[in-house]
Structure 1
Amino acid sequence: MTVLVAATLTVAPSAAAEPEGLAVDFGATTGAFRGGATGTLYGFGDEGAPTQALINGAHITNSSQKPPFGTQHPSGDILKIEDGFFAKHGEELAIYIQDHYPDWPYHRGVRVGDVRTYDQTTGEYVEEPNGVWDYLEVVELMVEVVATQSDHPEEYLFIPFNEPDGIWYQNWPTMRDTFLTDWKAVHDKIQEVYARHGLAPARIGGPGDARWQPERSRDFLTFAKQHDVLPDVFIWHELGINNLSTYRTHFADYRALEQEVGVSPIHVNITEYGMLRDMGVPGQLIQWFSMFEDTKVDSQTAYWNYAGNFSDNSARPNGANGGWWMFKWYGDLAGSQTVKVTPPELNAVDSLQGIGAIDAANRRATVLYGGTDSDVQLDLRGLSHAVFGNTVDVEVREVTVTGAEGLAGTPRVVHAVDGARVTEGKLNLTVPTYDRYAAYQVVVTPAQDRAITADPVWSTSVEAEDTALTAARTYFQDPQAGGGWKFLASGSHDVGSFNQPTSKADWTVTVPRTGTYRFQVIGATPGSAGRHALFVDGAHRTTIQYTADLALNATSRWQYRGSTEVSVQLTAGTHVLSVRASQNGSQVLPNSDITLDKFVLTDITDGEPTTYPASTLRFYGGAGLSWDSGTRGFGGIAGSGQRADAYLTAMETGYYDVAVEYQTTGASDLRLSLGGRALPAVQVPNGGHRRTTVRAHLTEGINELELRSNRGVRVKSVTVTRAPAGDAAASTFEAEDLPLGGDAAVVSVDAASGSNASGGKYVGWVGMGSDNHIAIPRGDGFDAPGDYDLVVHYANAETAGRHDYNPQVVDRQAVVTEGAQATPVGSAFFRYTYSWTSFWQRTVPITLTTSTGDLRIGNPSAWAPDIDKVTIAPLVVGTPTTVRVG
């Protein structure tokens, strides 16, 4: 579609309600993009939880974790996760030193005294005083370990006190002097440790109050200035619904306080923000992001559930939910200048808010927005003729709520305009809105040398409450109920009480052609795996198998949502898809009392080709978009220091054709890496426009693709298409059918459990010694050295310790060896699955060095997860093909 307009462009009919306006002035820059709003508190579990693809794609720049060997949580030790954090985008890793203590609030909420004597060489202690405050000894121990064992000691931030206004120092009139004296003591001790190891002065953050505390902050700054112990980062928390309206005032008050006290501006990190209701919800997150980016602070999502999933902003072991894509979009703005955005109302709870940014070097303007049920009229101004010319291309992508554990595919282009005329730097764009919890990315570039179209893959959805319901009930999920201590539902409603043999939800839907469709159900399966029956036009078609979701308490039990996906063959025309609690109409299926939120139907007949144009890639080392004739909007990459990154979605694990379309001016090369592993390099003998296709194994969720060229290419796009024919190259084994070593044993699941264990059996008691393992004899398809994916279907519901409101989850590790060799060929930590009979999948990259040694899955020093089945797949099958285009 090509549309030429003078001032106003409407890409789709508006809803009956008046649109809300969002003005974005790209000519009024507000500073360099900070990118700190997607920090996380305890967002990292153990190494690989989250996976590196999730970490890098989310562009996490800051996080707070527990100290080395801290006992507050079973996972998240800062030294164990630092390599993954700093691999690409990590800038500052903070340590909550008080997390040395196992209980919450720390030390029973009472300031520790002098009752112990610590051995600073071993960390051991005896229960007797020594004239030194116990916590000061703990601080020295923790800082010493970081100073001597970390590879990045000068990129850490030490936070000595977490919420001191609620823990240890609650009563300010009586505890003021104690806190200030303690602050100086720990500040000086941290610097003393760094100095004795020849390190630059350590960075220290505080005071760390649970909310903005002007009186305490004034006293703190005044004392810290007088005694030369000012923090490098000023910290407080913004928790609660109303903080969306009060934060900017708090920040302004803080800056005014600095001036009053005579302190130069100190960088701010809001190390905890948001409520349960905000996590994983794009339209809520953008409201927080916009405030923090506007004030150029860092900030971290609060820890409400468990470590290792970015505070409910990633799904399953390697998947994106709607919140993750909001993180990713925000990170895509790196290198830009932010610009002035004027919402209908600036400091308003649950309202339309946005971020605007311009990347002049790449001639790319972006708006991120969300938070309204109304259509949005974008008033875009300042689109410089020197940068954008007379006409622009516009792509609008949408990301919706999928629940904390619900898979969200690559956001689709829902509206596209090819060649919109810009007059006096202005363009008006009206975009329909799906849901107040959805968010939108608008990318504006000069006219590109590619067609700008909406996503060609057919997909449609329906809210569960809008289907025809029998023996079920619609519930309103009020976003402001319970002070935000709840999880939100798409469309603010869901369907529950789905617990009768007659319970069903009927969706009448018309599909465009005969083929294969993916049917996705977003809902909450509390605490255990469950099942529904899918009927099509009154006939039973298949079983919908759900995995377990969080069921920690009454709040989460019916609201913590995930997704499940099944394939179904449909003929062109209208059908009734019926989700039922019973298959036979008289008995409910196991654990069928599942909350239903939303249904999504997608045509996957042609492998669901998904295109990532160059305008959406991340460029590094001088690579960037080209605007030369013939390659307008292509990504130029040349030399070993340049690269482009793409984050590819696989809705199921298997083989995909990864096709890169590009142009060269002469003989050149294309080098691809998938998850850090090099794919076969491609050489081209002369110039031209080409498409190179590699059939590669992708894992469910997010896959990181890096593109490089030593001699230079200009990339138009990357397109990923499911290639099920390639799956024949993979080998799958039921764990119970494989040779077992030591105490590893087959376990049968109860038929009434609703478990998704394949064949009703799995293998447990793996690990805690090398002898207790599963062996996979070498066979066709993996009988040669090389790179492979080992896909492990596993369960891990281990917890350790207790917490007032968090499940203390343990990430179990599986170690893979080849034959009797002691050196692993691969290993990975496996996230919590909520139930011992609910199985997810985790891919372990392995590199085999022999042709004959069997593969052994175990763990020499701890328990491995329980294992249902495994698949071994070569990373690449066949030889890459390159063809000329055009």
Structure 2
Amino acid sequence: MSVVVAGAAALFVGVAGGPANAANSTLTVNAASPFRPVSHVGAGGLYALAENNQPADAMLLPLKLHTLTQPAPGVGQRPNGQPPGGDSLLVAPQATRVGAAEYIRMPDIYPDFPYRWVSWNDWLAKVDAQVNARLAATATSNITGWELWNEPDWTWNTSAAGSFNAGWVRTFQRVRARDPLTPIVGPSTAVYNESWMRSFLTYARDNNALPDIICWHELEGSARIAGDIANYRALEASLGISPRRISINEYATPTEVDQPGSVASYLAKFERGGVDNAHRAFWYEYGTVNGLTVNNQPTGSWWLYKWYGDMAGNMVVTTPRAQTGLDGFASHDPTRRIVNVVFGGESGTNHVRVTGLSSLGSSVRVLVESTPAAGRFTQVSAPTVISNTTATVTNGELTVTVPNMTATSGYHLVIQPTSGVPSYQQRYEAENGSIFRANRFGSSSASAGGYVGQIDNTGDPRTASYVDFIVTVPTARNYTMRIGYANATGATATHGLAYNGGPWSTVSYPPTAAWGRFGATVSTTVTLRAGHNVIRLAKGSPYFAGGTGYAELDYIELS
């Protein structure tokens, strides 16, 4: 079955720097081929937050932010001539409220960029001060990485400081002497370069100083992302290094970062490439998630990330025609029977072919909307609805044709049954949540096929394990919250429960037959406000004494 979106118009014409791509491309989506849980890996930013709650929580919660890179405690960096701001520890309370983890960028203790090296005594004293400040912040539990340096392939002063590889090891050892627990991130090069990375990894491996999270930047267009990731994985294996999580903690060129169509291609490639997290590059003002908000109102780009934040369930396979042009990413939420596709990067008439739709039934509603590349200073109050129609699914397949696309705009396709869809999301998979120091696993008995396990705690904010669920409800009232879980300890286990920063209560999990085998539930009552809420289930967390035993989390469901 094909659907032609009638009456679609060019929504933003003549944007400078937009790609001039040919029309008549097809993006193929297989809704029946999940490949990873939705975790919003690309919803992050460099210097995304500023002190004094900028942007407001209400602008951040719908985006389901994953990880941010923020400046060092006692920041001296003056980005683009602005005064120092965005101190990682000072913005941590807000980041925590919206479910976001943080990396601390240590060299941002310096005021200038490129950084001006002083001496090793000066640098190591600065490292000590930062680590001591973090250790003193005992109520802060969202710091998940020390980024030891930034873009050493052009900011490291070899003549004054010696080789970067030796400097990395020396800094690594200094941090580890005081903080053996927090992951270390690096080398954070400006571009991916195999020979540079090979030299670094070999030296780090031989000196027991490998980063826990490997990091580089993608600032030269999205076309090379897939190749860079594949090259790194092959290099890692050839050196006998166990697989590292990958962070791309700066992405998109100065022109692209405000173009939803271009950003859609980056996000698609990060999802397909299996990166752990990726952050919008900082080119302009901080405290706006790099152009997603203006005066606490959404820009055109905000809507693309809001569509991303609306995704739940599992990411499903998307196949573009090429590494440039039309591309996108998609999800399928089996509990709501909704398929979301976000795409862009091509002008003219193009197509989205969606297969694997049999579970949605034969009659579906098809919504297509768009958001323009209106720039970082232009408020866009809502997406433009292009078409909202019904269609018939034939042999589990549907093709949606969108004419008059603009390459710099972003587009959103939603396919759902014409009846039987809940009016609001009620089930939230644990593997879709903000997960701190626990891990995602798969199980055929789990809802949507995934769950969270290894939820542990030692009483230290650097090891506290918890899952934050960002939920949205239509009205303020009491809700029954059902929790799917497994507990094979043979005894009752407990977690702490808190929502919206309120007081803690305890949830008890009676024993079940086996780990990774689900079906058991417990229920409790939560009092939620209309709109967005953050619900935390914790083995350990600031202001909570700690849970007992062990439990794995499958989902929460509100009714």
**TM-score, with normalisation over the residues of structure 2?**
0.72
Displacement of 1:677 in angstroms is 12
Q: Distance in 1 between matches of 2:92 and 2:533?
A: 25
**Could you say if the C-alpha distance between residues 442 and 77 of structure 1 is closer, same or farther in structure 2, counting changes exceeding 3 Å?**
same
Question: Which residue identity does 2:397 align to in structure 1?
Answer: K
Q: Report deviation, 1:670.
A: 7.9
Q: Is structure 2 residue 347 aligned with structure 1 residue 337?
A: no
Is 1:280 paired with 2:258?
yes
The alpha-carbon deviation at position 706 of structure 1 amounts to 3.6
Deviation of 1:357 after TM superposition, in Å, equals 1.3
TM-fit CA distance, 1:101: 1.0
User: Which aligned pairs between 1:8-47 and structure 2 lie closer than 5 A?
Assistant: 8-12=2-6, 19-47=24-52
Choose between structure 1 and 2: higher strand proportion. Answer: 1
- Specify whether residues 670 and 106 from structure 1 end up closer, same or farther in structure 2 by C-alpha distance, changes over 3 A only: same
Describe the superposition over 1:174-233 as per-residue Cα deviations: whole angstroms up to 9, x where unpaired: 98x7322221221122122125xxxxx121001111111211211211122222211111
AA paired with 1:148? A
Q: Distance in 2 between matches of 1:314 and 1:336?
A: 27
CA deviation profile, 1:762-810 (whole Å, cap 9, x unmatched): xxxxxxxxxxxxxxxxxxxxxxxxxxxxxxxxxxxxxxxxxxxxxxxxx
SS at match of 1:161: coil
Query: Counterpart of 1:185?
Result: 170
Alpha-carbon shift at residue 439 of structure 1 (Å): 1.2
The secondary structure found in structure 1 opposite 2:217 is strand
Q: Residues 654-693 of structure 1: matches in 2 within 5 Å?
A: none
Structure-2 separation of matches of 1:353 and 1:11: 18
Structure 1 CA distance, aligned partners of 2:171 and 2:244?
19
* In 2: Cα distance, 1:300 partner to 1:383 partner: 32
CA-atom RMSD in angstroms: 3.1
Count of residues in Structure 1 that have an aligned counterpart in Structure 2: 437
Alignment partner of 1:363 out of 323, 332, 337: 337
Q: 1:104 is matched by which residue type in structure 2?
A: F
- Give the Å deviation of 1:150: 4.7
Deviation at 1:449, TM superposition (A): 5.7
The answer on 1:88 being equivalent to 2:98 is yes
Q: Measure the CA separation in 1 of the matches of 2:207 and 2:138.
A: 29
1:143 aligned onto 2:131: yes
Within the candidate set 139, 151, 156, 1:168 is matched to 156
Q: Which structure's residues are more often helix, by fraction?
A: 2
1:85 Cα shift?
A: 0.8
- Runs of 4+ residues over 3 Å off in structure 1: 13-19, 617-622, 641-644, 668-671, 675-678
The residue number in structure 2 matching 1:705 is: 531
Q: Report the CA distance between 1:38 and its aligned residue.
A: 2.1
Residue 408 of structure 1 is matched in structure 2 by: 380
What residue number does 1:98 align with? Answer: 107
1:836 match = none
* Contact kept? 2:264, 2:343, Cα under 8 Å: yes
Query: Cα offset for 1:273?
Result: 1.3
Deviations 1:549-580 (A, max 9, x none): xxxxxxxxxxxxxxxxxxxxxxxxxxxxxxxx
Q: CA deviation at 1:340?
A: 1.8
What percent of counterpart residues are identical?
27
Choose which of 206, 218, 242 in structure 1 pairs with 2:198.
218
Please give the secondary structure, in 2, of the residue aligned with 1:225. Answer: helix
Q: Which residue of 2 aligns with 1:304?
A: 283
CA spacing shift, 1:14–1:313, aligned 2, 3 Å: closer
Looking at structure 2, the residues matched to 218 and 337 of structure 1 have their Cα atoms a distance apart, in angstroms, of 34
Q: Which residue of the partner structure matches residue 425 of structure 1?
A: 396
Whole-angstrom CA distance in 2 between matches of 1:79 and 1:18: 47
Equivalent position amino acid for 2:118 in 1: V
C-alpha displacement of 1:320: 0.3
SS at match of 2:166: helix
Q: Show the counterpart of 1:389.
A: 361
Letter in 1 for 2:71: K
1:22–1:344 Cα contact (<8 Å) kept: yes
For the 8 Å contact 1:394–1:417, the answer to whether it is kept is yes
TM-score (norm 1): 0.46
Larger deviation, residues 202-211 vs 53-62: 53-62
State the shift of 1:10 in Å: 2.1
1:681 match: none
Is the Cα–Cα contact under 8 Å of residues 88 and 104 in structure 2 kept in the other structure? yes
Equivalent residue number for residue 411 of structure 2? 440
8 Å CA contact 1:46–1:81 kept in 2: the answer is yes
2:57 aligns with 52
Structural mapping, 1:209-608, within 5 Å:
209-240=189-220, 243-297=221-275, 298-316=277-295, 318-333=296-311, 335-345=312-322, 347-348=323-324, 351-384=325-358, 387-418=359-390, 420-448=391-419
**SS in structure 1 opposite 2:297?**
coil
Alignment partner of 1:143: what SS?
A: helix
In the alignment, is the contact (CA less than 8 A) between 1:670 and 1:707 conserved in 2?
Answer: no
- Which residue of the other structure, out of 418, 423, 428, is the alignment partner of 1:614? 423
Contact 2:39-2:66 within 8 A present in 1 as well: no
Q: Which is higher, the Rg of structure 1 or of structure 2?
A: 1
Higher relative contact order (CA 8 A, sep 6+): 2
Specify every segment of 5 or more residues in structure 2 that has no aligned partner in the other structure, as ranges. Answer: 11-21, 79-83, 433-467, 481-498, 503-528, 535-559
CA contact (8 A) 2:370 2:412 kept: yes
Q: Secondary structure at the match of 1:365?
A: strand
Q: 1:336 to 1:169 in 2, by over 3 A?
A: farther
